[in-house]
Amino acid sequence: MTPDDVSRALFQRAPAGLFAMSTDGVIHSANDTFCEWSGFAREDVVGRYFLSLLSRGSKLLFETRFMPLLQTQRALNEMMLTLSTRAGGSRDVLVSSVLDDSGAETLVYAAVFDAAIRLKYERDLLDARRAAETAVARVRILQEAAAGLAPATTLAAFGSALRVSAETATDAALVSVIVADPDGRLELASGDRPLTGIVELAGLLPVQECLSHGRPVVCRSATEIAASFPTLAAGLDAEGVEALCIIPVIEDGTVGGAIACWFQRSRELDENLLDLLAALATQAAPVLERIHLQRQIEHQSLHDSLTGLPNRLSLQRRLRQMLADAELLGHTVGILFLDLDGFKAINDAFGHEAGDQVLHQVAGRLLRSVRAGDLPSRFGGDEFVIACAGVDEDTVRDVARRIRTAVREPLVGLAQGSTVSASIGISLFAPRGAAPITPDALVALADEAMLTSKRTGKNRDTLVTA
């Protein structure tokens, strides 16, 4: 094969389309590759305007940019154009060209390269960059969440840190951080929620479903909300909620709360977003467990383990505050010191378990006999103390009467049919003109008054003023 043969073969079978055209765009010559890409035979390509082989957008680009630049710069590298093929398809190409005026006619020599690989590479590169940016943003959100959650010692601080992180991760119109206590009661730890004042927190069915099953609840459109929660759909729609996702916070195998995101428009809510919210919930779980444990320890330190009533330490704290408020506002403070009559006989006859049952029953009767705001406590043994603020003599004696009536009701359990009664001592402190008094001194006065009730016949009350 002669060098001329090689040159002709190279021109025809080059891995790029090659053609020559006049400055007015008429194709003079084209190789086999270009013809194959266009879908036209060579006789249909030669003599055709190159412009006629371009898509609508590329025609405008060719006329307004390609040719003007080529005539001024005499060479162009890798300008993106789109060929319209004979079969009705299209092919994105990169066109490099030079202007040659060395001959009798000025010609444009062009090389056309398939841009599909380049475009795929650029798309892959863009996707990789976006994925990297998303990963960096995710790590940043999780780091900021960890920094905000770590020092949290209260539900309010916990909820605030988790809410801010969830708001950063999403474009939700509302974010609610909901916590369930060990008894199943729900508390809005931070954020806002839809249907406030219309539906109780426990009645938000998407939240209830999430907490009940420990699985995310996702509705990506108003249609999905209507299908899943028809009774709430109209109310949510009225408040502009068209999508939602509820992610459980699971502590030690138990659902302790949820992150609820409420969106004003339909959302894709893809796996990346749901995974990020799940990661936030996973970070939050041990913090919530720690706070619940702290609250449990604090509750145990301030409450009697048998009756569940506040203990002596809790009484002292509350009474100290009552007396401080009394000095400031002029309120009266009353103490009722109660000792059970006949308790020892029941304990001796039926055993300590029966005695514990009696104490538990008496505690319940105290709770339903006192006023809202009064503090009933177990002082020790079969002694109970009730602290009351803002009472006068008539009021405090009425409380004592209700207590004595309730205590005398027949007992159930191991002491079935037996009864106990209450000897009560009352001390009343009015700060007007009186010297300040300590909590211990006020309780001691009531204790002495209780002993007087014991000595004078039991099942009665005796009142003294401080």
Mapping DSSP onto H, E and C, the string for the chain reads: CCHHHHHHHHHHHCCCEEEEEECCCEEEEECHHHHHHHCCCHHHHCCCEHHHHECHHHHHHHHHHHHHHHHHHCEEEEEEEEEECCCCCEEEEEEEEEEECCCCCCEEEEEEEECHHHHHHHHHHHHHHHHHHHHHHHHHHHHHHHHHHCCCCCHHHHHHHHHHHHHHHCCCCEEEEEEECCCCCEEEEEECCCCCCCCCHHHCHHHHHHHHHCCCEEECCHHHHHHHCHHHHHHHHHCCCCEEEEEEEEECCEEEEEEEEEECCCCCCCHHHHHHHHHHHHHHHHHHHHHHHHHHHHHHHHECCCCCCECHHHHHHHHHHHHHHHHHHCCCEEEEEEEEECHHHHHHHHCHHHHHHHHHHHHHHHHHHCCCCCEEEEEECCEEEEEEECCCHHHHHHHHHHHHHHHCCCCCHHHCCCCCEEEEEEEEECCCCCCCCCHHHHHHHHHHHHHHHHHCCCCCEEEEEC
- Average the pLDDT over 353-377 and give the result: 95
pLDDT at 424: 97
- Average the pLDDT over 117-140 and give the result: 81
pLDDT at 434: 66
pLDDT at 120: 84
What residue ranges do the domains of the chain occupy? 3-114, 126-300, 312-465
Instruction: Tell me the percentage of the chain whose pLDDT exceeds 90.
Output: 78
Q: Is residue 41 scored above 90 in pLDDT?
A: yes
- Average the pLDDT over 280-284 and give the result: 94
Judge whether 126-300 and 312-465 match in fold.
no
In this prediction the pTM is 0.63
pLDDT at 183: 75
pLDDT tens-place string over residues 325-347 = 998 888 899 999 999 999 999 99
Confidence of residue 117 (pLDDT cuts 50, 70, 90): confident
Q: Which fold has domain 312-465?
A: Alpha-Beta Plaits (3.30.70)
Average confidence score pLDDT of the chain: 92
pLDDT at 252: 78
Q: Is residue 164 scored above 70 in pLDDT?
A: yes
Q: Is the CATH code 3.30.450.20 the one for domain 3-114?
A: yes
Q: Is residue 432 scored above 80 in pLDDT?
A: no
pLDDT at 48: 94
Q: Is residue 33 scored above 80 in pLDDT?
A: yes
pLDDT at 1: 61
pLDDT tens-place string over residues 211-252 = 999 999 999 999 999 999 999 999 999 999 999 999 999 987
Stretch among 135-139, 393-397, 416-420 having the lowest mean pLDDT: 135-139
pLDDT tens-place string over residues 139-157 = 898 899 899 999 999 999 9
Q: Is the CATH code 3.20.20.70 the one for domain 126-300?
A: no
Q: Is residue 103 scored above 90 in pLDDT?
A: no
pLDDT at 133: 74
Q: Is residue 128 scored above 90 in pLDDT?
A: no
